[in-house]
Structure 1
Amino acid sequence: MNTIQLSVVIPVYNEEAGLQTLFDRLYPALDTLGISYEVVFINDGSRDRSAALLREQFQKRADVTRVVLFNGNFGQHMAIMAGFEQSRGQRVVTLDADLQNPPEDIGLLLAKMDEGHDYVGSIRRQRNDSWWRHVASRAMNNLRERITRIKMTDQGCMFRAYSRDIINAINSCHEVNTFIPALAYSFARNPAEVVVGHDERLAGESKYSLYSLIRLNFDLMTGFSLVPLQMFSMAGMLISVFSGLFFVFLVVRRLIIGPEAEGLFTLFALVFFMIGITLFGIGLLGEYVGRIYQQVRHRPRYLVEAVLESRSED
């Protein structure tokens, strides 16, 4: 079998309206690279005609197209993990199906890898997202870098290139919840970033709600660092010290001034504040315990219904 130089992994979820445009732009862009390639689509339980369109495209370009059909919706990152396991290229590029990142820029990622980098991330040149997405993304980037020491300028962009060594390392992991760009960064010896184009979504709506983004960042924080737990341990010790000092202050004040009813609401405020911190800390601890619980059950991360591929090369 001839060695495939490039695999393009594309998760698909309810992208019926824009798939044909993706096909029309993706394959010509890859043909112009002048290298052997394959495109691996993963249908993540789409409820529209995405699966049917992928089947049709496979029939048209069976020589370079493979389609993985999930029997349910398991999420973008699990779809990409399945694509990694199916990919055969020496380099792998992940691309969203919504065409917000132009497939014509795949050559930019590969050119950067030619300089000796084993993992190349991307920075969107001009983000066409809502203002709150800009603010939330910037805040989470700063927090993530401080906690995990993982440096990614634009963590929300999945348009990235990976060497085969990085893909093999990722495939050896069996984490139920993970953040693929951060996982790859932890394995990379010489990571880099390039600036790529960013357009408005061609059709449909974003699959990431505010809750999904919060969940994703929780996975990132708790999956790659123990710093959140350590921060709450330190906070607990500091609060204990200040609480002890405050108790001594109140006792001395009572002995000198006598009973004071006016301080009751101040105590209530302090108690509610402590309760809030405690509940948040318990929730954070529960996040780690929940990850352990999901991992030890050893349930399949995803279920593949079928894989459409040509066997002519075997």
Structure 2
Amino acid sequence: MTMPTLSVVIPIYNEEAGLPALFARIYPALDALGETYEIIYVNDGSRDRSAALLREQFARRPDVTRALLLAANAGQHMAIMAGFEYCRGEIIVTLDADLQNPPEEIGKLIAKMKEGHDYVGSIRKKRQDSLFRTWASKAMNQLREKITRIRITDQGNMLRAYSRGVVDAINSCKEVATFIPALAYTFARNPAEVVVEHEERVAGDSKYSLYSLIRLNFDLMTGFSLVPLQWFSMLGMLVALGSGTLFVLLIVRRLIFGPEAEGLFTLFALMFFLIGLALFGIGLLGEYIGRIYQQVRLRPRYLIEAVLENDVSVQANVSEANVKVAVAADQRQKKE
């Protein structure tokens, strides 16, 4: 079977309302590129009719459509990892199903990849998100770059292109929690970025709550750097030094002015600050220990319920095997 040049991996989670519009736009957009392609939809345990719509779409375009139906929700990045393990193209593009990144923009990434880059990210032009979300995203981008040294201008945008070599390197990693754009950046030798259009969601709401975004950034910080632990260690040393200095000053003050009752609430405030600092450090340490705990359990990252694909090579092998069995049975009958 001829391997496609392009694989497009699209994670799906409760996107029933927007899938018809996605189907109507992505196939013409990819046909216009003039490249052999496949589209891999990964249903991430959707609770609506997304899986049924994927089955119907597979029946319409089985030549270029493949679908992985996960048994339970594994998260966006694990769904993409599942698609990476099944994709066959030399260039792999990830795309969200909400059409905030138009499928017509995929051509820009392909053109950039053909210039010799092995990883191409995208920067949203005139973002259609809320002001708070845009500001928070920029702030987290700056903090992430300082901590991890990973330079991704727009980390929340999943419209990205990867070479086969980068995807193979990602597939070799067995992390149970990761951030795929950052992981790809660590493997890429010649990364690049392009500016793409950005639109409002066709239907539905964002699947990322504020807690999910915070959770994702914790995974990003702790999964790619030890800097948070090192920063906290240095902060602990500074606090210890400051506490020792304060203790000496209080002793000197007591010897000079005698015992005093004033300043009690100041000491309470200082104590509460130190307790909060200690709890923050325990939580930070818990993040790293939690990642270790999840990793050492060696549980599967996702479970695949069904795979919808039209693999000619597999069908040919099955047919050939059936012919051999029939010939062998016929020969046995003749001998008898």
Same fold (TM over 0.5): yes
For residues 136-285 of structure 1, the aligned pairs below 5 Å read 136-285=136-285
Aligned to 2:44: 44
1:66 maps to what in 2?
Answer: 66
Distance 1:288 1:258 in 2: 47
Give, in angstroms, the shift of residue 3 of structure 1: 2.5
Give 1:252's aligned amino acid. V
Moved beyond 2 Å, runs of 4+: none
Q: Which has the larger radius of gyration?
A: 2
Q: Which amino acid aligns with 1:16?
A: E
Q: Any idea what the Cα deviations from partners look like across 1:215-263, whole Å, max 9, x if unmatched? A: 0000000000000000011111111111111100000001111111111
What amino acid does structure 1 have at the position aligned with 2:273? F
Q: TM-score, normalised by structure 2?
A: 0.93
1: CA distance, partners of 2:3 / 2:16: 32
Alignment of 1:100-139 (within 5 A): 100-139=100-139
Cα shift at 1:39:
0.2
Matches of 1:4 and 1:313 in 2, distance apart?
Answer: 14
Q: Aligned partners of 2:276 and 2:132: how far apart in 1?
A: 26
What's the offset of the Cα at 1:311? 2.0
Distance in 2 between the 1:135 and 1:267 partners?
37
Task: Show the counterpart of 2:289.
Answer: 289
Unaligned residue ranges in structure 2 (runs of 5+): 315-336
Shift of 1:313: 4.1
Q: Distance in 2 between matches of 1:17 and 1:56?
A: 15
Secondary structure of 1:271's counterpart equals: helix
Letter in 1 for 2:142: N
2: CA distance, partners of 1:313 / 1:131: 50
- Computed over aligned residues only, the root mean square deviation of the Cα atoms, in angstroms, reads 0.6
Comparing 255-264 with 106-115, greater Cα deviation is found at 255-264
CA distance in 2, matches of 1:111, 1:313: 30
Match of 1:8 in 2: 8
Identity, in percent, stands at 74
> C-alpha distance in 1, partners of 2:154/2:300?
30
Cα distance in 1 for residues equivalent to 2:186 and 2:260: 57
Which residue of 1 is the match for residue 317 of structure 2? none
Query: Per-residue CA shift, 1:32-76, capped at 9, x if unaligned?
Result: 111110000000011111000000000110010000001111110
Aligned-partner Cα distance in 2 for 1:111–1:122? 13
* Alpha-carbon distance in structure 1 between the residues aligned to 2:299 and 2:142: 34
Counterpart Cα distance in 2 of 1:313 and 1:300:
28
**2:296 & 2:61 partners in 1: Cα distance?**
41
Deviation at residue 289 of structure 1 after TM alignment: 0.0
Query: 1:95 maps to which residue?
Result: 95
Structure 2: how far apart are the matches of 1:134 and 1:277? Answer: 29
Residue aligning to 1:303: 303
1:294 to partner: Cα distance: 0.2
Aligned match of 2:324: none
How many Å separate the matches in 1 of 2:154 and 2:313? 38
Pairs aligned (count):
314
Residue 208 (structure 1) shift:
0.2
Unaligned runs of 5+ in 1: none
Q: State the Cα distance separating 1:4 from its structure 2 match.
A: 1.1
- Determine whether 1:54 maps to 2:72: no
- The answer for the alignment partner of 2:325 in structure 1 is none
The AA in structure 2 aligned to 1:225 is: S
- Partners of 1:132 and 1:45 lie apart in 2 by 29
Instruction: Write the deviation string for residues 64-90 of structure 1: whole angstroms up to 9, x where unpaired.
Output: 000000111111000000000010000
Shift of 1:141: 0.5
